[in-house]
Amino acid sequence: MQKYNSFAIPEIPFSKYDRFIVILNFKTTPMILLEHPSLKSFNTFGIEAESRYFTELTHENDLRELLQSGLLQQQPFFILGGGSNVIFSKNYPGIVVKVGLKSIEMVNEDTETILLKVAAGENWSNFVDYCVEKGWGGVENLTAIPGTVGASPVQNVGAYGTEAKDVIESVEAYEIVTGFKHTFTNVECKFDYRNSIFKQALKNQFVITSVTFRLQKTPHLQLGYGAVKSQLDKEGIVSPTLADVSRVIAQLREIKLPDPSKIGSAGSFFKNPVVSIAQYNTLKAQYPTLVAYPHHEGYKLAAGWLIEQCGWKGKQLGKVGVYPLQALVLYNLGGCTGAEVLALSKAIQQSVKEAFNVALEPEAIFV
């Protein structure tokens, strides 16, 4: 094991796999960089890959000093949350920075709402459970979604009629180039369907450290999705609680989606594509069973339906396949590579484009 007490990272060929630790002499606590660590446990797809360096931030001071050191300007970097929508297609030649900041703090309360400031490294599903237990409404439909709180504004995560943008008050983040801290209001985040300013104009320019949520003391339940209402009716629940809704949605997700602790996947792999009213009408005339939902730009098509119609459900390519219970999910049959995931993804995109003239965009991020 070698130790280095300097900001300068030694030049070592990426092909060399004997690991060592680089200790950077920061002002407060030393920062440890691991060389060539396995990233398999840091992505829910379970893909084996390595990065040149890896570090985890557990305090905000760690991030400030990392930014001041200039390390992120010296080499490629990737900011990692829970790894639930990340596909490592090859070994990463730079530094992977995992955000592990943890805390939940009530910052304001009035007669109707609660403001909670939640650190970016908190587990998203655990955060939802915490709110449900407290009786605070707004995120119960987003239960059992893998990942961290810091990823929620980036992806604008959503499920069963609710999106993160509906409850996000503001986002705190550090600018990588300047090291300055910024607070973005909900409007400034420019939220859209599975999208935000952090995936577009400000991509790779900020590291999110916390998200502030506005939650309801008297919950307004969102039961617009038929499957949720049907299950509640089946159980004879006339006046559902937050816990009822959260539990039912978790059950529905468990039926359709593989458990990432047992089967490697990235959850819903593709976004539901949005098409114009004219294109929707044309497709509906050709395919009467087309599944679609009204959208402010036209109609949002069910990507899983499109993929299933192309015959991909249950099929596999190498060691990666399309989940037999939900065509929107790609999963690891055991030992698959990122290249295999990319190949299957492109094959599906091509099939859907040829069959429906609709472009599918991956929700998962290839690194």
Helices (H), the chain: 60-69, 71-74, 124-134, 152-155, 226-234, 242-256, 277-286, 303-309, 338-356
Report the pLDDT value the prediction gives residue 3, as an integer from 0 to 100: 34
Name which of 70, 69, 73, 71 is nearest 54 in CA terms: 71
Joined tokens for residue 189: 């985040």
Q: 226 Cβ partners below 8 Å, 6+ apart?
A: none
Report the pLDDT value the prediction gives residue 28, as an integer from 0 to 100: 57
Length of the chain: 367
CB atoms within 10 A of CB 52: 20
Joined tokens for residue 356: 């429906």
Domains identified in the chain and CATH numbers: 21-99 (3.30.43.10), 104-231 (3.30.465.10), 265-366 (3.90.78.10)
Q: By the 8 A CB rule, do 241 and 249 touch?
A: no
Report the pLDDT value the prediction gives residue 8, as an integer from 0 to 100: 43
Q: In this structure, what DSSP letter does residue 367 have?
A: -
Joined tokens for residue 255: 């039926």
Report the pLDDT value the prediction gives residue 9, as an integer from 0 to 100: 41
Low-confidence ranges of the chain (pLDDT < 50): 1-18
pTM, full prediction? 0.86
Report the pLDDT value the prediction gives residue 33, as an integer from 0 to 100: 86
Report the pLDDT value the prediction gives residue 124, as an integer from 0 to 100: 97
Q: By the 8 A CB rule, do 207 and 176 touch?
A: yes
Q: In this structure, what DSSP letter does residue 298 have?
A: E
Name which of 153, 149, 162 is nearest 196 in CA terms: 153
Report the pLDDT value the prediction gives residue 23, as an integer from 0 to 100: 54
Q: What is the pLDDT of residues 278-303, one digit of tens each?
A: 999 999 999 999 999 888 889 999 99
Question: Would residue 268 show up in a list of annotated catalytic residues for this protein?
Answer: yes
Q: 1 Cβ partners below 8 Å, 6+ apart?
A: 20, 21
Residue with tokens 């961290």: 148
Q: By the 8 A CB rule, do 296 and 335 touch?
A: no
Q: Given 194, 196, 340, 345, which residue is catalytic?
A: 194
Give the pairing type, strands 51-57 and 92-99. parallel
